[in-house]
Protein backbone atom coordinates (compact mmCIF):
# COMPACT_ATOMS: atom_id res chain seq x y z
CA UNK A 1 0.00 0.00 0.00
CA UNK A 2 1.42 3.41 -1.03
CA UNK A 3 0.14 6.96 -0.72
CA UNK A 4 0.31 10.09 -2.83
CA UNK A 5 2.17 11.93 -0.07
CA UNK A 6 4.84 9.21 -0.07
CA UNK A 7 5.22 9.85 -3.78
CA UNK A 8 5.56 13.61 -3.23
CA UNK A 9 8.27 13.01 -0.65
CA UNK A 10 10.14 10.57 -2.90
CA UNK A 11 10.14 13.10 -5.78
CA UNK A 12 11.16 15.96 -3.52
CA UNK A 13 14.02 13.85 -2.17
CA UNK A 14 15.08 12.83 -5.69
CA UNK A 15 14.59 9.12 -4.87
CA UNK A 16 13.79 8.05 -8.39
CA UNK A 17 13.62 4.29 -7.80
CA UNK A 18 11.28 4.71 -4.82
CA UNK A 19 9.22 7.23 -6.80
CA UNK A 20 8.85 4.85 -9.76
CA UNK A 21 7.90 1.96 -7.47
CA UNK A 22 5.31 4.07 -5.65
CA UNK A 23 3.89 5.30 -8.98
CA UNK A 24 3.52 1.72 -10.14
CA UNK A 25 1.91 0.66 -6.85
CA UNK A 26 -0.53 3.58 -6.92
CA UNK A 27 -1.60 2.54 -10.42
CA UNK A 28 -2.09 -1.03 -9.23
CA UNK A 29 -4.14 0.32 -6.32
CA UNK A 30 -6.46 1.84 -8.93
CA UNK A 31 -5.49 5.52 -8.79
CA UNK A 32 -5.91 7.44 -12.03
CA UNK A 33 -2.73 8.63 -13.80
CA UNK A 34 -3.86 12.28 -13.70
CA UNK A 35 -4.57 12.01 -9.97
CA UNK A 36 -1.02 10.69 -9.48
CA UNK A 37 0.45 13.60 -11.48
CA UNK A 38 -1.61 16.33 -9.84
CA UNK A 39 -1.66 15.08 -6.26
CA UNK A 40 1.65 13.21 -6.08
CA UNK A 41 4.26 14.46 -8.54
CA UNK A 42 3.29 18.14 -8.83
CA UNK A 43 3.23 18.79 -5.03
CA UNK A 44 6.66 17.12 -4.76
CA UNK A 45 8.13 19.43 -7.40
CA UNK A 46 6.34 22.48 -5.97
CA UNK A 47 7.78 21.77 -2.54
CA UNK A 48 11.38 21.46 -3.79
CA UNK A 49 10.79 24.57 -5.92
CA UNK A 50 9.80 26.57 -2.84
CA UNK A 51 12.90 25.37 -0.99
CA UNK A 52 15.06 26.34 -3.98
CA UNK A 53 13.48 29.79 -4.02
CA UNK A 54 14.32 30.16 -0.32
CA UNK A 55 17.92 28.96 -0.81
CA UNK A 56 17.26 25.88 1.34
CA UNK A 57 18.32 23.58 -1.53
CA UNK A 58 20.43 24.19 -4.66
CA UNK A 59 20.66 23.23 -8.34
CA UNK A 60 21.81 19.60 -7.82
CA UNK A 61 18.85 18.78 -5.54
CA UNK A 62 16.49 20.36 -8.06
CA UNK A 63 17.99 18.35 -10.89
CA UNK A 64 17.68 15.01 -9.10
CA UNK A 65 14.10 15.78 -8.06
CA UNK A 66 13.28 16.68 -11.66
CA UNK A 67 14.88 13.44 -12.85
CA UNK A 68 12.70 11.44 -10.44
CA UNK A 69 9.63 13.26 -11.69
CA UNK A 70 10.66 12.68 -15.32
CA UNK A 71 11.04 8.94 -14.78
CA UNK A 72 7.61 8.71 -13.15
CA UNK A 73 6.17 10.69 -16.06
CA UNK A 74 7.73 8.09 -18.34
CA UNK A 75 5.36 5.55 -16.75
CA UNK A 76 2.33 7.85 -16.70
CA UNK A 77 2.59 9.75 -20.00
CA UNK A 78 1.56 6.82 -22.26
CA UNK A 79 -1.47 6.21 -20.01
CA UNK A 80 -2.41 9.89 -20.05
CA UNK A 81 -2.03 10.01 -23.84
CA UNK A 82 -4.13 6.83 -24.25
CA UNK A 83 -6.86 8.44 -22.16
CA UNK A 84 -6.69 11.57 -24.36
CA UNK A 85 -5.57 13.73 -21.44
CA UNK A 86 -3.43 16.68 -22.43
CA UNK A 87 -1.75 19.30 -20.27
CA UNK A 88 -3.93 22.39 -19.90
CA UNK A 89 -1.29 24.78 -21.22
CA UNK A 90 1.59 24.56 -23.67
CA UNK A 91 4.86 26.47 -23.32
CA UNK A 92 7.55 26.83 -25.96
CA UNK A 93 10.93 27.35 -24.33
CA UNK A 94 14.46 27.97 -25.54
CA UNK A 95 17.72 29.83 -25.04
CA UNK A 96 17.91 32.75 -27.46
CA UNK A 97 20.05 33.00 -30.59
CA UNK A 98 23.80 33.01 -30.00
CA UNK A 99 23.52 31.60 -26.48
CA UNK A 100 24.45 28.00 -25.62
CA UNK A 101 23.74 28.04 -21.87
CA UNK A 102 20.95 25.63 -21.03
CA UNK A 103 21.17 24.54 -17.39
CA UNK A 104 18.82 27.28 -16.11
CA UNK A 105 16.52 26.92 -19.11
CA UNK A 106 16.30 23.15 -18.48
CA UNK A 107 15.45 23.76 -14.82
CA UNK A 108 12.66 26.14 -15.80
CA UNK A 109 11.37 23.59 -18.35
CA UNK A 110 11.42 20.83 -15.74
CA UNK A 111 9.60 22.95 -13.19
CA UNK A 112 6.95 23.91 -15.74
CA UNK A 113 6.56 20.26 -16.66
CA UNK A 114 6.24 19.59 -12.94
CA UNK A 115 3.35 22.04 -12.89
CA UNK A 116 1.73 20.03 -15.71
CA UNK A 117 2.57 22.35 -18.64
CA UNK A 118 3.15 20.72 -22.01
CA UNK A 119 6.70 21.70 -22.94
CA UNK A 120 8.15 22.22 -26.40
CA UNK A 121 11.86 22.59 -25.73
CA UNK A 122 13.65 24.16 -28.69
CA UNK A 123 17.08 23.88 -27.06
CA UNK A 124 19.75 26.55 -27.33
CA UNK A 125 20.74 29.13 -29.95
CA UNK A 126 17.12 29.47 -31.06
CA UNK A 127 16.37 32.06 -33.72
CA UNK A 128 13.36 34.40 -33.40
CA UNK A 129 11.74 32.67 -36.41
CA UNK A 130 11.98 29.28 -34.74
CA UNK A 131 10.24 30.57 -31.60
CA UNK A 132 7.46 32.05 -33.73
CA UNK A 133 7.02 28.92 -35.86
CA UNK A 134 6.92 26.61 -32.82
CA UNK A 135 4.45 28.83 -30.94
CA UNK A 136 2.18 28.84 -34.00
CA UNK A 137 2.51 25.10 -34.63
CA UNK A 138 1.80 24.11 -31.01
CA UNK A 139 -0.69 26.92 -30.30
CA UNK A 140 1.35 27.76 -27.23
CA UNK A 141 -0.01 30.02 -24.50
CA UNK A 142 3.54 30.82 -23.39
CA UNK A 143 6.84 31.61 -25.07
CA UNK A 144 9.73 31.34 -22.60
CA UNK A 145 13.06 32.97 -23.44
CA UNK A 146 16.28 32.40 -21.53
CA UNK A 147 19.55 34.32 -21.95
CA UNK A 148 22.77 34.08 -19.91
CA UNK A 149 24.99 36.51 -21.80
CA UNK A 150 24.71 40.28 -21.90
CA UNK A 151 25.64 39.94 -25.58
CA UNK A 152 22.62 37.73 -26.33
CA UNK A 153 20.05 39.86 -24.51
CA UNK A 154 19.41 41.82 -27.75
CA UNK A 155 18.34 38.51 -29.33
CA UNK A 156 15.64 38.39 -26.67
CA UNK A 157 14.42 41.80 -27.81
CA UNK A 158 14.44 40.66 -31.46
CA UNK A 159 12.45 37.56 -30.51
CA UNK A 160 9.81 39.59 -28.67
CA UNK A 161 9.59 41.84 -31.74
CA UNK A 162 9.25 38.84 -34.08
CA UNK A 163 6.44 37.39 -31.97
CA UNK A 164 4.61 40.74 -31.98
CA UNK A 165 5.18 41.18 -35.74
CA UNK A 166 3.72 37.71 -36.35
CA UNK A 167 0.54 38.85 -34.59
CA UNK A 168 0.68 36.07 -32.02
CA UNK A 169 -1.54 37.96 -29.60
CA UNK A 170 -2.73 34.85 -27.78
CA UNK A 171 0.77 33.90 -26.57
CA UNK A 172 2.42 35.59 -23.61
CA UNK A 173 6.20 36.02 -23.48
CA UNK A 174 8.21 35.48 -20.33
CA UNK A 175 11.93 36.06 -19.99
CA UNK A 176 14.68 35.15 -17.54
CA UNK A 177 18.33 34.36 -17.05
CA UNK A 178 21.10 35.77 -14.87
CA UNK A 179 21.68 39.13 -16.68
CA UNK A 180 17.99 39.77 -17.34
CA UNK A 181 16.00 42.10 -15.08
CA UNK A 182 12.41 43.25 -14.69
CA UNK A 183 13.45 46.62 -16.15
CA UNK A 184 14.88 44.92 -19.22
CA UNK A 185 11.77 42.79 -19.62
CA UNK A 186 9.65 45.96 -19.50
CA UNK A 187 11.97 47.75 -21.93
CA UNK A 188 11.67 45.02 -24.58
CA UNK A 189 7.93 44.56 -24.10
CA UNK A 190 7.92 41.07 -22.60
CA UNK A 191 4.84 40.10 -20.60
CA UNK A 192 6.76 38.87 -17.57
CA UNK A 193 10.12 38.26 -15.94
CA UNK A 194 11.13 35.85 -13.23
CA UNK A 195 14.37 35.50 -11.37
CA UNK A 196 14.42 31.75 -10.79
CA UNK A 197 12.82 28.50 -11.84
CA UNK A 198 10.33 28.27 -8.98
CA UNK A 199 9.03 31.83 -9.46
CA UNK A 200 8.85 31.05 -13.18
CA UNK A 201 6.10 28.53 -12.45
CA UNK A 202 4.00 31.08 -10.53
CA UNK A 203 4.46 33.61 -13.31
CA UNK A 204 3.72 31.05 -16.05
CA UNK A 205 0.47 30.03 -14.40
CA UNK A 206 -0.56 33.68 -13.95
CA UNK A 207 0.23 34.53 -17.58
CA UNK A 208 -1.36 31.37 -19.05
CA UNK A 209 -4.58 32.03 -17.15
CA UNK A 210 -4.90 35.41 -18.87
CA UNK A 211 -4.58 33.93 -22.38
User: Which residues of the chain form contacts with ligand B1M (CB under 6 A)?
Assistant: 59, 98-105, 107-108, 144-146, 148-151, 174-179, 194, 196-197, 200
Q: Which is nearer to ligand B1M, 133 or 149 (CB)?
A: 149
Nearer to ligand B1M, 40 or 89 (CB): 89
Q: Considering only CA atoms, which of 186, 209, 206, 182 is closest in space to residue 194?
A: 182
Q: Do the beta carbons of residue 204 and residue 144 sit within 8 Å? A: yes
- Cβ 196 to ligand B1M shortest distance, Å: 3
Q: Where are the beta strands (DSSP E) in 58-208?
A: 89-95, 117-121, 142-146, 172-176, 192-193
Query: What is the nearest approach in angstroms of ligand B1M to the Cβ of residue 147?
Result: 7
Question: CA-to-CA distance for 176 and 132, rounded, in angstroms?
Answer: 18
Cα end-to-end distance, the chain, whole Å: 41
CB of 211 to ligand B1M, least distance (A): 16
Nearest-approach distance from CB 189 to ligand B1M, in angstroms? 15
In the complex with ligand B1M, the residue whose CB is nearer, 35 or 209, is 209
Amino acid sequence: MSTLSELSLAVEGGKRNDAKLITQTLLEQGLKPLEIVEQGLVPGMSSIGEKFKNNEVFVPEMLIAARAMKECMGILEPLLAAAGIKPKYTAVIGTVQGDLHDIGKNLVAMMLKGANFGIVDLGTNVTPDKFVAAAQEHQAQLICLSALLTTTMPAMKLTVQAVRDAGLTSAKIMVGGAPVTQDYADEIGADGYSQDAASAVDLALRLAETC
